[in-house]
Amino acid sequence: MMQLTQFVSHLGRTVFPLIVAAAFTIGQATACGFHYYIPENTSVDRLLQSKDVILARPSRQNRFEFEATKVLRGQGPSEKLPFLVSTVLRKKMELNPEDHVVLERAPEGAWKHVSYANAAYVEMVESVLANSDTWSRDYTPDRFAMFAKLLSSPDPALKELALREVDKAPYAMLRQIDVSLSSEDLLSQLWTIKGIPFQSIRILLLGLSGDDAARVEIHRFIGISKGKERAENLGAFSAALVELDGLDGVARLETTYLTDTSQPLPKLEQVVEALAIHNAVASFELHKAITDALSRMILQRPETAPMVARQFGNRQDWSQGATVALALKNKAIKNPAEQFMVASYVSRAQRAQLSDRVEN
């Protein structure tokens, strides 16, 4: 019988050129991992990448034009700023003489509007620029901590920016947050059109809140989504469920989705992704519950093995090697690309296990 390493080598020689794009990409997991939209750079990212940053107000010579009032980074404009001051904005700024607009310019770029800014917003901008050396290289704990505190800001612009910023955090970092938003606040915007870009992070924060109102909404969604062909953000709701209910949450996901053979594979993958994210921070008992649930799923539906390999492999989590190998032993995976991905994952898992034995 062909050994696993020989099998992987054989696949690599025969079909690798056709399937390399389908194999998992190590280390490419996104921050929270549950976006079904393409996350845009936040205003903070734009500030960090900028060459010049200024504060501006309507010009004293021409009230329909802006003039720089303070340079926060780089140089002020040598040309006329390319923005028209609307009547509404001009009247608002006349009533608030301490407010500004923040403008930034990327290297060799044009001036762009960042935000209307009261004193609190300006203070945030100055803090971002003061930390640009480290924050422009990585999403750091202190960047996360600063915006986590701003989640309860009374300023809508700062609160919205804070949501976008904490949405960037890896789940292990997000779990450290002291949720300052009430469940009522989180739920109030959960299903609104304006709230759609922030839905996944609101769901995860609901899970971290430990609140009964959050539990009711999460249980409701998990239940009603079972009969739907598609369920956007099922992954975020699944992660929130496990965060709230632990072992009982894993059991609910198994009985509702993993053991239901009628569930479409894209929906199951969202649940598997949530379990993979939790597995990285799980207790021994929760880790065992996740592994056992996935093992039963793969035995029942071997075609789910590639999604387990993909989601855990993307996170360099090799704990599911024996689980995924169940599908290889039964030769239940027919697609060459999926064969390669699963076999590669099992091979990496075996090497990781051997390395742990040597080290210990």
Residue 309 has which token pair? Answer: 């390999």
Separation of alpha carbons 275 and 162, rounded Å: 26
Q: What does the mean pLDDT of the chain come to? A: 88
pLDDT of residue 34: 66
131 vs 44: CA distance, rounded Å: 11
| Cβ–Cβ under 8 Å, residues 323 and 313 | no
Distance separating alpha carbons of residues 50 and 48, to the nearest angstrom: 6
Measured over the CA atoms of residue 41, residue 42, residue 44 and residue 50, the dihedral's sign is positive
Q: Are 268 and 253 in contact (CB under 8 A)?
A: no
- Residue 72 burial by Cβ neighbours in a 10 Å radius (0-12, 13-18, 19+): buried
Residue 207 has what pLDDT? 96
- Using a 10 angstrom Cβ sphere, with 0-12 exposed, 13-18 middle and 19 or more buried, the burial of residue 256 is middle
Q: What is the pTM of this model?
A: 0.86
Instruction: Say which residue the tokens 């009374």 belong to.
Output: 154
151: CB partners within 8 A, 6+ apart: 159, 162, 163, 166, 179, 180, 181
How many Å is the Cα radius of gyration of the chain?
Answer: 25
Q: Which residues of 106-244 form beta strands (DSSP E)? A: 111-117
Q: What is the pLDDT of residue 45?
A: 94
Q: How far apart are CA 238 and CA 328, in angstroms?
A: 28
Name, in order, each residue with C-beta under 8 angstroms of 213's C-beta and a sequence gap of 6 or more: 183, 184, 187
DSSP 26: T
Q: What is the pLDDT of residues 114-133, one digit of tens each?
A: 999 999 999 999 999 999 99
Q: What phi, psi does 355 have (nearest 5°)?
A: -65, -40
The structure tokens listed for 15 are 């079909």
Residue with tokens 């190998």: 325
Residues in the chain where the model's pLDDT stays below 50: 1-22, 25-31, 36-38
* Segment (H or E) for 215: helix 212-224
What pLDDT is stored for residue 262 in this prediction?
96
- Rounded CA-CA distance 185/182 in Å is 5
pLDDT reported for residue 333: 87
- What's the DSSP call for residue 280? T
For 355, the enclosing helix (H) or strand (E) is: helix 336-359
Which residue has 């009522």 as its token pair? 184
